Structure 1
């Protein structure tokens, strides 16, 4: 097995062999082989190899080449290698490289000039750059904008080096003239950026002298102006901040979405005036409705959320402009929109928000989105209690929905409103509405919570009687399992018997539990409150759940009936009616026990 030292020796031998192959290819005359060898050399250098003997081969055989691909690879190679010896002096071979660079800067092909100027932006050796400065300055007047653009970048990079102002003493004047006379947008931007970095006051003078024409500048130059304004307006007591904000406001009408976004952010961060905050908020909302990229929308919502913290009084007025973003199909966007809107609720806008959320909840078919909307409506009611009544009545329509989690949220919210409201009319209407919609509930947990609400908060005689009637109608006729005279027990999962004149008729003679707890065979049909035959199957939700084996729900039914009967005995003046209700409740409970024992 090879040790680490052995592996290192093998690696060094492999690297030396690779260097020999590269040298051999570079010394050949095949242009394609030279280009491939240069690619391998650059890759090895980037990966940490030194290849010390390769530089002389490159100077001899690659430097004179006129092929554009090889020239580009040569510049990459020169950018990577160490250009100084161990003593810190520039390598003598760099004299030949400087001559080649000077020739490239005067090359008739503008591409060679441009890539060479771009390479010089990444050099930091004054000994190499100094003889090239006159050739660099000559390119400021080149006919092609590609060359002028990179010439300005090279001047900016050289001037920002230590002692770079000595290499090009008049660089600022040259660049200032270029800003005023240059026609190419990118070249003009490069010149303006140099003024912003190296002579900020000159850049501000140019900006203010063209304040009326800033809207006519190219997008790239306008973006640089916005960055400059951000930088110089960091001082809170700057006297001329109003002039900068006026420029930013004028740029908000630009067709460039990137520029408009940056201007809105600058306005929001630099000004606390309501007009500027409203302009930024309106800009973000317009971009939110016009952009199709989900990531951009999420970023815009984050900016609006930041604006809510600094300009809340302004954001309250644009809540209804943000809500249309709920039409975006992405759930993350919907969630951020709802979070933003819920953070801006006031008694003045809550009604409009609730109406909009109601419409969204009514038309959506997505279970997850509907649950988000229901939770948002719940928070609206908690934040502004005066809308709790209308909100609660709306939410009760979703108790019978197929989304069990949303239905649980709704019934818990209903319980919270009933328990905390100080308005007796609201409590009474909610109890009545819950009784009327109870038959639509299909979830066992929701039924249990709704039953506990009816048992706990049905206080008056009418409420108690309505609650008992609702439970009896949803249970259907006891018994829940029928026992024939010969001792056979029917299958409780079978459908209920058909209705004849609103009376349930059993095909067999069931065992009936009397008030004195004795059992006898029934000889007559047991009457129940009148229920339409068509709606019978849809109203017996409690019966179907209990027959499916949910005896926890059956225990809740028994507990609720016990509470209601005891309360009825307190509020019912007729002792006969109270005793009748008690008998009916006992009949239901014994029927449940009979069903459990027969299962």
Structure 2
């Protein structure tokens, strides 16, 4: 047995300040008081675990404690004989243990089943065959005991003894096979079946053949073991698949969810037949729908996604799209997101209409649940549904007539994100499918006055201004805008309303308080302090949507409206030949813009109009009053060409991603040469066709012929040296980072000529790390070595530190060696991610923690620094390449990453070059929801900049 397979002893924390002499302990053990005897045993074990030696107490315990029939004392004795040294310095068994062996042989025949079972469990931990050999007849006899607890532990004892010392019971497989045929208890059958799987697979298969028709009636614990056996056998011997495929089909109907899950996975692995894949997928869907645990739903959904990724199974799963949509009944947003993504990937022209109808019902459900406590989740779910319908409409244009009325009903929704996505769909659909333009514009005009959100209003106005191409559409848009704005001029109409409202004052009284003011445009405006105070004291009246936005001070809407009216006016002038109509329409547009401008400069709005908005409206007024061919080109063509370029870029990016996923390796030709990995050189390994051999050799730790090992590409670059070469113990650790845990594989080398006893690697953590598996105590001979493993659980994305020391005994001397710290890199838990600009801005506003990092590097190229940053931090650049092209000496980019725990990290890069040969300067702003994420990423960026400078130097 290697050191790593030694037993993990039971550790009991010592009481503070506990100390006792051997004589005192001996007196307490010889006492007739059972409680005092038990307390003495506890003291002895605590002191022995702390390194104390009491060789004289062993015989006392055997004489006075071992015959005791008290259950507590017997339990303590099992722990004592587990930890007490059983051999002398020369490695021979102590003669006192002959008496212990005799006592436990009597306990194996004890009428109390608890005592028998406890002793059998204790025997599983013994590693001395001299102690086990006299007990074998009694252990065999326990297989026939009336109580299942004894029989179950007897099977485990026989299994462990046969695995460690097969010469003690050479007929164990035959014995357990005969026992299994007559056993009725479920747990006993499971233990016996596991033993046959591990020791004699043929006998396990023979037993399964004898009861294969009854497997569906077995308990879940036994069914799981049967599934494991079938997978193991069929994977190693594919000819056996037909023999057990029916059994796996039957287990898909098991009452246990765990059994159904394992059976479905095994069925897909063993058979690629359409019926098998469909049965497994249906089983997965049922599990997702019926299980209430969201983690289970997500795990099984991932298995369905894996099935979809296989090209041979995708067509089969397309028939189950409607069944997959049943998962939308789950309340968890992440489950719904994955379900919609999966359904969208599988939908085809045959069932897309049914999919849209189901999504329509889901949208209606979200509208019906508006105003509930979970409004935020409902809004996010509605946004997911809108995006899914959007992608369906782009992927299948024939379905757009159904989608258009459904989505455009949502532009007046209080949920801004969903309404914004609706208009994104409208913009893309109008651009890509010109035949839908009239329908979309008419429906948008119908729902236009339901818009109450300023951002949605701006998007809707832009679409109207860009895509209204007929006289009727332009006039309809103008009418809708006028209705949304109300009576104009706005300032005079509002003042008139205040005067008409009365409140006991007439016009003379009102005019006495009013004064004339000259605006920047050279016109007059009336301002009344009395009116302002009166308005503040009464309830705010109901106003049309656009006028209400202007009263709130949102004049960016007015600037957008100015662009829309200018576009429509220029189109109207080009289509209508009558000068009177042309002048009337342009004058109406100019009046609307001037009244917004005057209103913004008055005291009625909550915020005055900004200079940028004033300049924008003034430019539009200039374009309307003095039309030119250049302005017509800018407003009529350039805006749409920019949209076309953006949509084409997005479409090209999506096509590139799909092409990268669909790219497959070329099949090996029949006349290709056979490459033997052991005979290939490093140069041969660099070829793509030899990539498999290279990865295989790297996995098994081999290297190519006549070449040096490239340690930078092996796991050796993750080895951390824990002690120095001059220490009595040399230790190093390989840090294996999994998804949610870290496994430390520690190599411990004894560099002395002494035997190191009770050597323990004590590990502690700093940060959101938790030690879940403590290293076991081992003994290492002179100049010998061993491997010790420790597991650490990770709970969040932060830099962590693992530290500790090694304690051991040499010649009754306690020694300690302090270990170097192991730093856990946050990059092991961060992967690149992508999101839309709207989502990025929303998360940027919501995230609480920000970390600003100054750029300090010797890199002189802006794009090279961006690539260096993305490579070292796992951040993905969201800014398109075309936006980063050119050489202007300045660069700004947005980056995004997500941890395996679902935490988002955002970054905004702003860098510049002051001269052609100067290094890059600037800063990086990091934002995250948690402080640890932002700080850890900032530390990683600072470290990568230091590395970049040293490499450049």
Deviations for 1:551-591, whole angstroms, at most 9, x for unmatched residues? 11111111111111111001123221121111111111111
Q: How does 1:194-593 map to 2 (within 5 A)?
A: 194-235=195-236, 238-310=238-310, 311-364=313-366, 365=369, 366-421=378-433, 423-424=434-435, 426-482=436-492, 490=495, 540-593=544-597
Deviations for 1:224-281, whole angstroms, at most 9, x for unmatched residues? 211101111224x622211121211122233333322221121122211111111111
Q: 1:189 to 1:495 in 2, by over 3 A?
A: farther
State which drifts further: 321-330 or 450-459: 321-330
Whole-angstrom distance in 2 between the partners of 1:403 and 1:192: 58
Q: 1:153 to 1:313 in 2, by over 3 A?
A: same
CA contact (8 A) 1:28 1:34 kept: yes
Deviations for 1:45-102, whole angstroms, at most 9, x for unmatched residues? 6xx5233216455434332221112212221232234433343323333222212211
CA shift at 1:192, angstroms?
Answer: 1.6
Q: 1:587 to 1:64 in 2, by over 3 A?
A: same
Whole-angstrom distance in 2 between the partners of 1:195 and 1:108: 29
State which drifts further: 204-213 or 541-550: 204-213
CA contact (8 A) 1:480 1:547 kept: no
Residue 476 of structure 2 aligns to a residue whose secondary structure is: helix
CA shift at 1:184, angstroms?
Answer: 1.6
Q: 1:15 to 1:407 in 2, by over 3 A?
A: same
CA contact (8 A) 1:301 1:337 kept: yes
CA contact (8 A) 2:216 2:254 kept: yes
Deviations for 1:328-377, whole angstroms, at most 9, x for unmatched residues? 22223222322322232222222111111111111113222212222222
Whole-angstrom distance in 2 between the partners of 1:67 and 1:219: 37
CA shift at 1:25, angstroms?
Answer: 4.8
Residue 583 of structure 2 aligns to a residue whose secondary structure is: helix
Deviations for 1:354-408, whole angstroms, at most 9, x for unmatched residues? 1111111111132222122222222222333332342233111111111112211
Deviations for 1:159-183, whole angstroms, at most 9, x for unmatched residues? 111xx22101221221110111112
CA contact (8 A) 1:399 1:407 kept: yes
Residue 255 of structure 2 aligns to a residue whose secondary structure is: coil
Q: How does 1:135-146 map to 2 (within 5 A)?
A: 135-146=138-149
Aligned residue in 2 for 1:501: none
Whole-angstrom distance in 1 between the partners of 2:137 and 2:182: 21
CA contact (8 A) 1:65 1:71 kept: yes
CA shift at 1:288, angstroms?
Answer: 2.4
2:176 is the counterpart of 1:172:
no
Deviations for 1:435-491, whole angstroms, at most 9, x for unmatched residues? 1111111111111111111111111111111112211111112111129xxxxx949
Q: 1:467 to 1:153 in 2, by over 3 A?
A: same
State which drifts further: 367-376 or 107-116: 367-376
Whole-angstrom distance in 2 between the partners of 1:51 and 1:353: 73
Whole-angstrom distance in 1 between the partners of 2:316 and 2:268: 11
Deviations for 1:134-178, whole angstroms, at most 9, x for unmatched residues? 1111112222222122111111111111xx221012212211101
Whole-angstrom distance in 2 between the partners of 1:41 and 1:307: 58
Whole-angstrom distance in 1 between the partners of 2:459 and 2:592: 19
Aligned residue in 1 for 2:610: none
CA contact (8 A) 1:399 1:440 kept: yes
Match of 1:128 among 131, 137, 143: 131
Residue 110 of structure 2 aligns to a residue whose secondary structure is: coil
Aligned residue in 2 for 1:111: 114
CA shift at 1:43, angstroms?
Answer: 6.0
Whole-angstrom distance in 1 between the partners of 2:330 and 2:499: 47
Structure whose alpha-carbon radius of gyration is higher: 1
Gaps of 5+ in 1: 1-10, 484-488, 499-506, 511-516, 522-536
Aligned residue in 1 for 2:930: none
Q: 1:117 to 1:352 in 2, by over 3 A?
A: same
CA contact (8 A) 2:277 2:316 kept: yes
CA contact (8 A) 1:400 1:442 kept: yes
Gaps of 5+ in 2: 1-13, 370-377, 502-509, 515-520, 526-540, 604-953
CA contact (8 A) 1:345 1:383 kept: no
Whole-angstrom distance in 1 between the partners of 2:580 and 2:254: 83
CA shift at 1:26, angstroms?
Answer: 4.0
Aligned residue in 2 for 1:189: 190
Whole-angstrom distance in 2 between the partners of 1:547 and 1:18: 89
Whole-angstrom distance in 1 between the partners of 2:106 and 2:499: 101
State which drifts further: 21-30 or 433-442: 21-30
Q: 1:24 to 1:541 in 2, by over 3 A?
A: farther
Q: 1:520 to 1:188 in 2, by over 3 A?
A: closer
Aligned residue in 2 for 1:486: none
Whole-angstrom distance in 1 between the partners of 2:273 and 2:61: 63
CA shift at 1:193, angstroms?
Answer: 1.4
Whole-angstrom distance in 2 between the partners of 1:445 and 1:144: 74
Aligned residue in 2 for 1:513: none
CA shift at 1:185, angstroms?
Answer: 1.8
Whole-angstrom distance in 1 between the partners of 2:463 and 2:585: 19
Aligned residue in 2 for 1:156: 159
Q: 1:330 to 1:33 in 2, by over 3 A?
A: farther
CA contact (8 A) 1:440 1:538 kept: no
Whole-angstrom distance in 1 between the partners of 2:555 and 2:110: 93
Aligned residue in 2 for 1:530: none
CA contact (8 A) 1:19 1:51 kept: no
Match of 1:100 among 99, 103, 125: 103
Whole-angstrom distance in 1 between the partners of 2:341 and 2:100: 62
CA shift at 1:28, angstroms?
Answer: 3.5
Residue 122 of structure 1 aligns to a residue whose secondary structure is: coil
TM-score, L = length of structure 2: 0.54
Aligned residue in 1 for 2:73: 70
CA shift at 1:117, angstroms?
Answer: 0.8
Whole-angstrom distance in 1 between the partners of 2:499 and 2:455: 24
Q: 1:292 to 1:597 in 2, by over 3 A?
A: closer
Residue 170 of structure 2 aligns to a residue whose secondary structure is: coil
Residue 481 of structure 1 aligns to a residue whose secondary structure is: helix
Q: 1:473 to 1:216 in 2, by over 3 A?
A: closer
Aligned residue in 2 for 1:30: 33
State which drifts further: 360-369 or 581-590: 360-369
Residue 238 of structure 2 aligns to a residue whose secondary structure is: coil
Whole-angstrom distance in 1 between the partners of 2:15 and 2:407: 75
Whole-angstrom distance in 2 between the partners of 1:57 and 1:31: 15
CA shift at 1:221, angstroms?
Answer: 2.9
Q: Which one has the bigger strand percentage?
A: 2
